[in-house]
Chains A and B, each alone.
Chain A
Amino acid sequence: MYGNLSVIDAQPNMPSEEEDPKLLAEFEAKIDRGEKIEPHDWMPREYRRQLIRMIEQHAHSEIIGALPEGTWITRAPGFKRKMALMAKVQDEVGHGQLLYSAAETLGKSREAMINDLVSGKSKYSNVFNYPALTWADTAVIAWLIDAGAIVNQVANSKGSYGPYCRALERICQEESFHLKYGYDNVVTLATGTGTQRAMVQEALNRWWPPIMHFHGPPDTVSVHTEKLVRWKVKMATNDEMRQEFLDGYVPKIWDLGLTVPDPNLHKNPETGLWEFTEPDWEEFKRVINGDGPCNKERLAVRRMAEEEGRWVREALKRPSQKYVAPLA
């Protein structure tokens, strides 16, 4: 699960003018013909940099995303739900592994990526800086956050970088289980007792603002989209993805008799577009930059896991080991 492709990118764009024009033209022609770019092909530095940033953030999001839901494994209501939640959390970590491998093909080592995650240098999806306060929160996350992520991942799986597309195809297959599992949990609560209904409604109210943040700032303020669209790094704009998500899921939410905590949310019959109250983008920026309810805990847990696992990795090390990047 993942979103916010255009989170904070502190580095300036690298201008394409500095690239060899002949190689750049061949590269762009390949993309225009719908061919995939593979790891050892020539590529503009900016393409490489943006892809590393994007895939790495996606990988971190999978790893950190396992934490808010993992919280509820020990307290899942019933054995079957406990097993299902464990399987889902395991999937998220597996997705992180696939994505780290894809990013490595572009030349950044896994150790460097993990170091950048725990030092706060590279980001992950902002939604995971919020807590899952009740069991119903995990249901809303598994249904709606994963739904938002699928919109994003299906779009990106048709992008131009081969290893990323292949990883995303595998991920999307597995995410379809998450979506069904999450929906099942939400339906169970929404069709249950008054207390259960109230619980899921409250969770939805809590998660609505992060859900609206999920696909990133509106296109009007989102930077450097144009070139990334041309290079098929970004396959849909933030607004397009948000619209697709709202189109698919708001009717299903209403269908359950639940409400969305935004009185202005409606589909304009003339434009066919959803209109809504702009979420608080200042909060979004503040939380991404470290000041959310769970940022510190998420990174502290990650550091603890790396530190306490170190002796095992150390014990297994062999002097003959030599790193090479994955092939494809």
Chain B
Amino acid sequence: MTINSLDPRITRAEIPVDNESTWTPLPDMDQHETYEVFHQEKRGDQPTHVGALHAPNPEMALVFAKEQYARRSRCVSIWVVRTRDIHTIGVEDSDVFETTPAKDYREARGYRVGGKLTEFKRRRAASNE
């Protein structure tokens, strides 16, 4: 017995009512490898990570990425890369990026000359009097 549906396409497909009994579970890797997707919304933007997808090869990954991540919103370029080719320091290790206040000589805020300059001007003005 096949499914008699409100949807004529489903009725025409002649799907057995009990296809559960013949179903073999999907094997691992049935959905292929994982790719990460990056896009640029407009020229001049940094390429930004937007998500992931499954594809059997880079060409198909680009086709899927265009459908998946550039279907509705603005986009001028798309990159894909196999997830396993990306090396990361993840947020779980974000403490490696912490630095000590003693290292502020490496930053703009480590340099303040205003006080010295004011003092210098004061002394010069005093000696000219």
Binding site for B on A (CB under 8 A): 38-42, 67, 70-71, 74, 90-91, 94, 97-98, 101, 104, 109-111, 114-115, 118-119, 131-133, 166-167, 170, 173-174, 177, 296-297, 299-301, 303-304, 306-307, 310, 313, 316-318, 321-328
Cβ < 8 Å to A, chain B residues 70-118: 71-73, 83-84, 86, 88, 90-92
16 residue pairs from A and B, CB less than 8 Å apart: A38-B90, A40-B91, A91-B71, A97-B53, A111-B26, A111-B29, A177-B72, A297-B10, A300-B16, A300-B20, A301-B3, A306-B26, A318-B57, A321-B29, A321-B56, A327-B83
Asked if B28 is at the interface of the complex by the 8 Å CB criterion, the answer is: yes
Separation of A100 and B57 alpha carbons in the complex (Å): 19
How far apart sit A283 and B81, CA to CA, in the bound complex (Å)?
A: 47
Chain B interface, DSSP helix/strand/loop, else mixed = loop
Q: Is the CB of A131 within 8 A of B19?
A: no
- Cβ contacts under 8 Å, B88 to chain A: 327
Q: In the complex, what's the smallest C-beta–C-beta distance from B113 to chain A, in angstroms?
A: 36
B127 near A: Cβ within 8 Å? no
CB contact between B31 and one of A111, A166, A167, A324 (< 8 Å): that residue: A111
Report whether B20 and A131 are in contact in the complex, using a CB–CB cutoff of 8 Å. no
Partner of A326, one of B3, B13, B36: B36
Also in contact, A133 and B23, with CB within 8 A (given A317-B56, A327-B36, A327-B86)? no
CA distance A173 to B70 in the complex (A): 13
Annotate B53-64 by CB proximity to A: 1 below 8 A, 0 otherwise: 110110010000
Q: Does B30 contact A (CB under 8 A)?
A: yes
- Shortest A133–chain B CB gap in Å is 7
Count residues of chain B with CB under 8 A from any CB of chain A: 46
Total of A-B residue pairs, C-beta within 8 Å: 132
Contacts of B30 in A (CB 8 A): 111, 310, 313
Cα of A74 to Cα of B72 in the assembled complex, Å = 23
Contact among A132, A321, A327 for B52, CB-based, below 8 A: A327
Q: Does B40 contact A (CB under 8 A)?
A: no
Contact A300 B15 (CB under 8 A): yes
In the bound complex, residues from chain A placing their C-beta under 8 Å from that of B68 are: 94, 97-98
Measured CB to CB, the closest approach of chain A to B73, in angstroms, equals 7
**CB neighbours of A303 from chain B (8 A):** 19-20, 23
- Cα-based distance from A253 to B104 in the complex (angstroms): 62
Do A173 and B73 touch (CB < 8 A)? yes
Q: When the two chains form the complex, which single residue of B32, B51, B72, B91 contacts A91, counting CB atoms closer than 8 Å? A: B72
- The residues of A that contact B16 with a CB separation of less than 8 Å are 300
Q: Which residue of B lies closest to A72 (CB)?
A: B7
- Choose one: A98, A133, A297; the contact of B5 (CB below 8 Å): A297
A101 contacts B90, C-beta separation under 8 Å: no
- Please state if B26 and A115 are interface contacts (CB–CB under 8 Å): yes
In the bound assembly, the distance between CA atoms of A324 and B82 in angstroms comes to 9
By a CB distance below 8 angstroms, the chain B residues around A317 are 29, 32, 56
Q: How far, in Å, is A304 (CB) from chain B's closest CB? A: 5
Q: Is the beta-carbon distance between B23 and A131 smaller than 8 angstroms?
A: no
Residues of B within 8 A of A114 (CB): 26
CB-defined contacts of B27 to chain A, threshold 8 Å: 111
Nearest B residue to A167 via CB reads B51
